[in-house]
Amino acid sequence: MITHRARMEACLAGQRPDRPPVALWRHFPIDDQHPETLAAATLQWQKTYDWDIVKVTPASSFAIKDWGVDDEWKGDSEGTRSYTKRAVFSLEDWSKLSVLDADSPHLAAQLKCLSILRDELGADVPLIQTVFSPLAQAKNLVGGENLLAHMRLRPELVGRGMEIIAESTRRFIRAARAKGLVDGIFYAVQHAQTSLLSRDEFIEFGRSYDLLTLESARPLWLNILHLHGTNVYFNSVADYPIHVINWHDRDTPPTLSEALPRTRAMLCGGLRRETMVFGSANDVQAEALDAIQQTRGQRLLLGTGCVVPIIAPHGNLVSARTSVEQ
């Protein structure tokens, strides 16, 4: 039988393997507060559904807790936590951030989680670590509205903070690489949206630091870009040095078929999250078939535009997994 790794490698090479690869991922609230429990929950998820990649989904705060933020689980259906304490309050606080090394407590805990997973999964299952862009981390450090105000009031001060965040992120990625823990990163970009930033603002504070950060992941063979939200600047990220692009293709342009000629990367999508939660197994199958037809079964990793809500029914998850077998 072809391995998950071999299937993904074939798709990246432009070949058609035995079937299109498929993968879904979700948050594991409460379990995501300790490396051992997050690893155990992730392994059970993989054991149940046998996805073609394992994407590790810690709470977004894992990357910035060592700067002093705090968060809390309040029952969100996506499984995300709410921030209860920020680390940046004034404009001057951006330059007071210190560069985090990978042995900082919360970053080291995430590396421990990856080590457990790598040992259990072996080399034939691609393991992908979530990494939030420097701009996404900056938003969580200060809060969304405050970030926009700070960027427009004193862009040079925010820029100093962005450099510190980018360097900290690069060190974490390099550490995961050096230990042989991951096959790639899932690089989450949240601000390439017309409703949040102008294109010029995204280029200055998003793209420039994205490219700087992604340099540290270049030696990896399966880097995935997640482009979050609607009305996105797809063309502004389509040339990023990554291997797969994931976005909400069912909710915002471009469609899968429109995106194919606009990037050399594989595409990840095809399933609407609302369908996974509220639709029937047949609805899930129909979306999967349409996605395969749009891409002619090539350069496609079947998945959703973002995390699967934790309330998605088991039957719909099974339907997504088995849809590619047909």
| Number of residues that make up the chain | 326
pLDDT value at residue 63: 98
pLDDT value at residue 64: 98
- Phi then psi for 74, rounded to 5 degrees? -120, 15
Residue 131 near residue 210 (C-beta atoms within 8 A): no
What is the arrangement of strands in the sheet containing 266-271, beginning at the earlier edge strand? 54-56, 127-132, 184-189, 224-227, 244-247, 266-271, 300-304
Beta bridge partners of 71: 83
Q: Assign 306 a pLDDT band (cuts: 50, 70, 90).
A: very high
SS3 265: coil
Q: Assign 1 a pLDDT band (cuts: 50, 70, 90).
A: confident
Select from 172, 170, 265, 261 the least CA-distant residue to 222. 265
pLDDT value at residue 319: 98
Q: Assign 221 a pLDDT band (cuts: 50, 70, 90).
A: very high
Q: DSSP string of 132-191? A: E-HHHHHHHHH-HHHHHHHHHH-HHHHHHHHHHHHHHHHHHHHHHHHTT--SEEEEEE--
pLDDT value at residue 318: 98
**pLDDT tens digits, residue range 53-85?**
999 999 999 999 999 999 999 999 999 999 999
**pLDDT tens digits, residue range 250-271?**
999 999 999 999 999 999 999 9
Q: Architecture of 4-11+23-323 per CATH?
A: Alpha-Beta Barrel (3.20)
Task: Give the Cα separation of 243 and 220 in Å (integer).
Answer: 10
- Tokens 């299109």 locate to 20
**pLDDT tens digits, residue range 276-292?**
999 999 999 999 999 99
Domain segments of the chain: what residues?
A: 4-11+23-323
DSSP 88: -
Residues 6+ apart with CB under 8 A from 249: 255, 256, 259, 267, 269, 270, 305
- Tokens 């349409």 locate to 290
Q: Assign 146 a pLDDT band (cuts: 50, 70, 90).
A: very high
pLDDT value at residue 326: 81
Residue 66 near residue 106 (C-beta atoms within 8 A): yes
pLDDT of residue 98 exceeding 80, the answer is yes
Q: How many helices, marked H, and strands, marked E, lie in the chain? A: 12, 9
pLDDT of residue 102 exceeding 80, the answer is yes
Task: Give the Cα separation of 95 and 115 in Å (integer).
Answer: 33
Q: DSSP string of 49-77? A: H--SSEEE---GGGGTGGGT-EEE----T
